[in-house]
Each structure stands twice: as structure tokens, then as C-alpha cells.
Chain A
């Protein structure tokens, strides 16, 4: 069982690999997704502040957020509007860092889903269990190997999910429950064939610490 010295290092989406195919490059060579993320994290460097391309991209991000805020204000109150901004910005981030393209449905079909969207569903399924906080979730076409997955290979996928658990839970039982949740979500929410689910407990923390992480 792997133990991770820094539990926060696991709290990422599927899209945090160093190089993701299809990332948008600005004319200055910076990745649009990186520029946005740094800005949101308050980490913009001198280049970003002075580069016209980065500045223009950040201006567009501001405009986009304004549009979403206005849309939220105009939505009927009975709608679940509380997290609309986050949801729309999630869509934008998914588009910038989609990860691999994975098969949906049976082998003979031609339906697909990006890794980041599927991973979000699986993470939410695992997070629904008490005493579990889900970190990274990677999904690979089965048999592809992690190094060089075939582009658009059909067949059951292999899921690898990292979790931080409360010290009060039984590790083996909670790992099995996470597996069951992921299999159930894959079939019931997506219609994705999953061949295997590997669960890694990266840390065991006091229950109170787990709650402080909050829902993500």
C-alpha cells in the first residue's frame, strides 16, 4: 500500500499530468491552461503581467466569469445556481486539459468521453463514502500501458484512484467500497466498461482533518 508524505499532492484531477495532448498554446509559448490557473492561484509571474498574449487571455477569462455571474443572477431561483460559476469554469478547464479520450459503450460503438469528465464522476462517487477524500483519478485504455496509450483504443478501461481515509475506517473494506462505487458509477452514470479499479490509500488522517478538506 503506497503512502504519500504529502496528502495534498494527490488532490488533483486526471488532468494534472505534465503534458496533455491538445493543450492550447498562446503565441508566446505559454499554455493557456497554465496561465489561467496561475492567475486564479495568485501566482502570475512577471512574464504574464507584461506579455500581451497572456494579458489578453486573462482579460477574456475575466469577461467569461462576468458572463457566467450575470447568467447566474438571471437564472430562476428554483434552479441549483449556487455552484453554476464553478460548473461552467469546470467545463472550460476540461476543454483546456481534457486528458485522454476513452471509450463509452460497447466495443463496436464509436462513442467517447474525455478522461477528465469521467474521472470527475468517479471521484465524486468515491467521495460519497464517509471517511474518504479522493485525490487523483487516472483512467487508461485497458492494456495500453501508462507510458504510451494507444489513441482512441476501444475496450474496458483501467481506473487508478488515490484516496485519503479517516483513521477510523477499515482500509481493506473502504478500498473495496470505493471499487464498488466506481464500478457502479461507470455503469449507471456513464455506460463505460471498466476492467479494473486500483485503489491506493495515500494517507490515513484523523477524521476531523478529513472533514476540513471539504467537498471538492
Chain B
């Protein structure tokens, strides 16, 4: 489970759907988070799961403002040569296609897309 109580599988499914959208280079790599975790791990002696850290950084699933709704935040790095807003709209559509199967009884999720880089 994530900190917000959603199954980790949903986060992973969303991440896979987003990564498959043309124009997406990769999910926000969370390199800063990885480095911070690495530094913290050295200080405390605990191991950090890099995949878990990456998924948390790029896809966040939480509770929406209305009861029973989901709020999904996706952070991505896009490829140059694709119009950014066209890609983010495709990402939203891909996320929405992914979520209903996972949460059939919920109202539509709020999906927020943030472009964190272009390569």
C-alpha cells in the first residue's frame, strides 16, 4: 500500500500506461529522491528499494477532494518533437483507461499531469 492507502499495483499499472504513451521519454526519474534516500540509507544503515522510490516519485494516487474519489498525479519527462500538451492529454486518457478497471465503483479520478523535463 502507498502512504495514501491505494494498492501499489494501481500505481504500477498507471506508470506502465503512462510510459506507453508516444512522446513520453520516461516517468520522472526521481533521481533526487533516490540520492536523498541513498544518503539517508548510509546514515541509518537501512536499505532503500529504488523501484519503490521511483514509483512514488512519478505516480501518486491519493484521495480526491470529494468522498470516494481518487486524485492521481503523474510527473513525466517528454521527448522533444512532440507537442507537450498533446502528450499530456494522451497521458490523461491513458490513466483514465487504466483506473476504471481498478476502481469500478468510484467517480472519475482527478488526473494531474506535470511535465518535469524535455529530452
**Interface of A toward B, CB cutoff 8 Å:** 24, 26-27, 32, 52-53, 56-57, 60-61, 64, 87-88, 90-92, 94-96, 98, 101, 104-105, 109-114, 116-117, 120-121, 188-192
A110 touches B110 (CB 8 A): yes
B66 to chain A, nearest CB (A): 15
B85 touches A91 (CB 8 A): no
A81 to chain B, nearest CB (A): 12
B29 touches A56 (CB 8 A): no
Give CA–CA (A52, B80) in the complex, Å.
38
A95 touches B85 (CB 8 A): no
Residues on B with beta carbons closer than 8 Å to the beta carbon of A94? 116-117
Residues on B with beta carbons closer than 8 Å to the beta carbon of A27? 39-40, 43
Residues on A with beta carbons closer than 8 Å to the beta carbon of B88? 104-105, 111
Residues on A with beta carbons closer than 8 Å to the beta carbon of B115? 104, 111-114, 117
Interface centre among B43, B89, B119 (most CB of A within 10 A): B119
Residues on B with beta carbons closer than 8 Å to the beta carbon of A110? 92, 110-113
A57 touches B92 (CB 8 A): no
**Interface of B toward A, CB cutoff 8 Å:** 28-36, 38-40, 42-43, 77, 80, 83-86, 88-89, 92, 110-119
A114 touches B114 (CB 8 A): yes
A192 touches B118 (CB 8 A): no
Interface of A is mostly: helix
Cβ-defined partner of B89 (8 Å) among A56, A98, A105, A192: A105
5 nearest A-B pairs in the assembled complex, by CB-CB distance? A191-B85, A113-B115, A111-B88, A112-B114, A105-B85
Give CA–CA (A64, B38) in the complex, Å.
13
B29 touches A95 (CB 8 A): yes
B118 touches A121 (CB 8 A): yes
Give CA–CA (A56, B42) in the complex, Å.
8
Give CA–CA (A53, B88) in the complex, Å.
37
* A–B pairs, 19, beta carbons within 8 Å: A24-B32, A24-B36, A27-B39, A52-B42, A60-B38, A91-B117, A95-B29, A95-B30, A95-B32, A95-B116, A110-B112, A111-B114, A112-B112, A112-B114, A120-B118, A190-B84, A191-B83, A191-B84, A191-B86
B43 touches A111 (CB 8 A): no
Cβ-defined partner of B119 (8 Å) among A87, A113, A189: A87
Give CA–CA (A111, B86) in the complex, Å.
10
Give CA–CA (A188, B112) in the complex, Å.
22
